[in-house]
Structure 1
């Protein structure tokens, strides 16, 4: 009989055990502490997460294998092999919920194909938290990941997303590498229509959490917001 693949949420930023308690329910922490086989994007950060959780056995005795954007597709079965042999496993992301904007989705898909039970646990999702707090349309929305790096292509993509939003009354959600956050916001303000709503949610669940939602016209009047190297989610809704 195969084991179970548990999807273990992580925190959205640095923090101590007390911060972990604020975003992960006790049953999730208990299950995370009991597992002795983990699959994560980075072994070092996975160990740091387990140290905060508090494991039932020494961390050095817990097997951790990596699954990231550089993992060949042919390695997925090797990662799943212990689960097929009867070992329960935990899949953990660098931040937030595994398999959402995360390479772990490939493992989850393969688990279903092989008949492995998949159990998702409750935890923080920056995408949903930002949408909840934005005041934008939560009935219809789409997440697009990263936008193009090239300035012209990024502006074109934003115009396309704004058009989709206007046509379908749909909230468009995307992210950026923290050191390019300011450039993205500047492009949003310069590209989108004055009436388009723009929400920026920064450092969600952390002490420094900041969420600002206003029209492009209002952003132009008071654009000041410290985004430097801070994890952020961007949302737009065109009128």
Structure 2
């Protein structure tokens, strides 16, 4: 067996269907051209992405392992075995950066346990891009993932996040299933204090990109259609 372990490369992908090298550095292309082993969320979209980045790369030589909610712990624990044999592996997200609001975090944790070198590569993170464009506190912030679906529980959570944002001068970031974006914005406008700042960052890095921070009361008059458009929401009460 090769005593030199391979490396786990964390490879960012696009946030939408724009030309890859408009939003990704050339280093991504170089790494993909060197790798044949990948851990991915969806084989079809991963192959399409790799082909867009490196059209000349042989697809039949690619060895893809699928990591999603159906992957068992026993399966996942074998995914880095090739690294132990000296073969480097790329971890691909479906959108944005691996391991950030992404199941790849478990693979990265496993790599550290197996003393495998981890190399995160530069690429777009919708969470950080939204925070950058929000005007809210970039020194102290929390990503909360998805909020409860139940209406009363969601409103209670929003009030809790609003209170935390005020007490700690902290931006509170969260996401929603795209087809519920408009309902989320309605709840934000109806539930939060009228002066609480609310940022909506939508279609980041795409031609249809929309980023706007307004008070909760101002969002009551929203005319932007967010339906089925990937969005990040950030709130902060002064």
The reply to whether residue 124 of structure 1 matches residue 124 of structure 2 is yes
TM-score, normalised to structure 1, is 0.96
Equivalent residue runs for 1:30-179 within 5 Å: 30-54=30-54, 57-179=57-179
Distance in 1 between residues matched to 2:59 and 2:207, nearest whole Å = 28
The reply to whether residue 27 of structure 1 matches residue 18 of structure 2 is no
Equivalent residue number for residue 11 of structure 2: 8
Q: Which runs of no fewer than 5 residues in structure 1 stay unpaired?
A: none
Deviations 1:205-237 (A, max 9, x none): 0000001111112212x3111101100000000
Q: Which runs of no fewer than 5 residues in structure 2 stay unpaired?
A: none
Matched-pair contact (CA < 8 Å) for 1:40–1:65:
yes
Distance in 2 between residues matched to 1:116 and 1:78, nearest whole Å = 13
Count of residue pairs the alignment pairs up: 235
Cα drift, residue 34 of structure 1: 1.9
Which secondary structure does the structure 2 equivalent of 1:157 belong to?
helix
TM-score, normalised to structure 2, is 0.96
Which secondary structure does the structure 2 equivalent of 1:128 belong to?
helix
Cα RMSD after superposing both structures: 1.0
Cα drift, residue 55 of structure 1: 5.3
Deviations 1:20-59 (A, max 9, x none): 1111111122112221001011111111110111155311
Q: Which runs of 4+ in 1 moved over 6 A?
A: none
Which secondary structure does the structure 2 equivalent of 1:79 belong to?
coil
Q: Do the aligned partners of residues 31 and 55 (structure 1) sit closer, same or farther apart at CA in structure 2, a change above 3 Å counting?
A: farther
